[in-house]
Structure 1
Amino acid sequence: MEIFKKTLIGKRSINQDYVETFLNKENQLIAILCDGMGGHKAGDIASEMAVLQIGNHWSATSFIDSDEAIEWLDQHINLENQRIYRVAKSYSDLDGMGTTIVAAAYINNEIIVGNIGDSRAYHFKQKELTLITEDHTFANELRLKGEISEEEAKNHRQRHTLTRSLGVLKKVEIDFFVFEKADDSILMLCSDGLSNGVENDLMSSILTRPRSINDRGNILIENALRNGSTDNITVCLIDNKFNANSEGKEGK
Structure 2
Amino acid sequence: MEIQLGTDVGQRRKNNEDYAAYFYNEDGQLLVLLADGMGGHQAGDIASRSVVENLGALWKQTDALNVTQASDWLWAQIQLENKKIVDQWYEDENKYGMGTTIIALAVIRSHVVIAHVGDSRVYLLNEQGIQQITEDHSLINILLKNGEIDEEMAANHPKKNMLTSTVGMEGPMEIETCVHKKNSGYFLLCSDGLSSMLTPEEIYQCVMEEKDLSTAVQRLLLLANEAGGYDNITVALLDCEGKEEE
Q: Distance in 1 between matches of 2:117 and 2:221?
A: 22
Determine the structure 1 residue equivalent to 2:53.
52
Superposed, 1:178-197 pairs within 5 Å as 178-183=179-184, 185-197=185-197
Q: Distance in 2 between matches of 1:158 and 1:36?
A: 18
Partner of 1:174: 175
Q: State the partner residue of 2:213.
A: 213
User: Can you list the C-alpha shifts for 1:50-97, whole angstroms capped at 9, x where unaligned?
Assistant: 000011100011244211111111110000100011002221111110
What SS class does the counterpart of residue 103 from structure 1 fall into?
Answer: strand
Secondary structure of 1:142's counterpart equals helix
CA distance in 2, matches of 1:216, 1:40: 34
* TM-score, L = length of structure 2: 0.95
Q: Structure 1: where are the runs of 5+ without partners?
A: 244-249
Deviation at 1:178, TM superposition (A): 0.8
Aligned to 2:119: 118
Q: Percent identity?
A: 38
Shift of 1:10: 1.5
Q: Which amino acid aligns with 1:71?
A: D
Q: Which residue type is aligned with residue 220 of structure 1?
A: L
Task: Give me the whole-angstrom Cα distance separating, in 1, the residues matched to 2:138 and 2:117.
Answer: 10
- Counterparts of 1:225 and 1:64, CA distance in 2: 39
Q: Is the 8 A contact 1:7 1:235 kept in 2?
A: yes
**Matched residues in 2 for 1:4 and 1:64: separation?**
24
Are positions 1:5 and 2:2 aligned together? no
Q: Report what 2:223 is aligned to.
A: 223
Q: Which runs of 4+ in 1 moved over 4 A?
A: none
Please report how far the alpha carbon of residue 251 of structure 1 lies from its aligned counterpart in structure 2 after TM superposition.
6.8
Q: What secondary structure is seen at the aligned counterpart in 1 of 2:170?
A: coil
What are the Cα deviations for residues 14-37 of structure 1, in whole angstroms up to 9, with x where unaligned?
110000000001111010100000
Preserved contact between residue 109 and residue 245 of structure 2 (Cα < 8 Å):
no
Cα displacement (A) at 1:167: 1.0
Q: Within 5 Å, which residues of 2 pair with 1:1-252?
A: 1-11=1-11, 12-169=13-170, 171-183=172-184, 185-243=185-243, 250=244
- Per the TM alignment, residue 229 of structure 1 is displaced from its structure 2 partner at its CA by 1.9
| Separation of aligned partners in 2, 1:173 and 1:162 | 11
The answer to whether the Cα contact below 8 Å between 1:137 and 1:162 also exists between their aligned partners in 2 is yes
For structure 2, the 5+ residue unaligned runs are none
Q: Aligned partners of 2:154 and 2:137: how far apart in 1?
A: 12
Structure 1 contact 191–235 (Cα < 8 Å) conserved: yes
Q: Quick one: distance in 1 between partners of 2:174 and 2:40?
A: 24
Using the TM superposition, name which of 86-95 and 163-172 deviates more: 163-172
Query: Deviation of residue 218 (structure 1)?
Result: 0.5
Letter in 2 for 1:196: S
| 1:149 to partner: Cα distance | 2.6
**Alpha-carbon distance, 1:150 to partner:** 3.4
Q: Deviations over 1:178-231 (max 9, x none)?
A: 110012x11100000111111111111111114200001111110000000211
Residue 246 of structure 1 corresponds to which residue in structure 2?
none
Query: How far apart, in 1, do the equivalents of 2:198 and 2:69 lie?
Result: 35
CA contact (8 A) 1:127 1:204 kept: no
Quick one: structure 1 residues 201 and 18, their matched pair in 2 at CA, closer, same or farther if it must change by over 3 Å?
Answer: same
Q: What number of residue pairs does the alignment pair up?
A: 245
State the superposition RMSD in angstroms. 1.5
SS of the residue corresponding to residue 224 of structure 2 reads helix
Amino acid at match of 1:21: Y
Q: 3-state SS of the aligned residue for 1:90?
A: coil
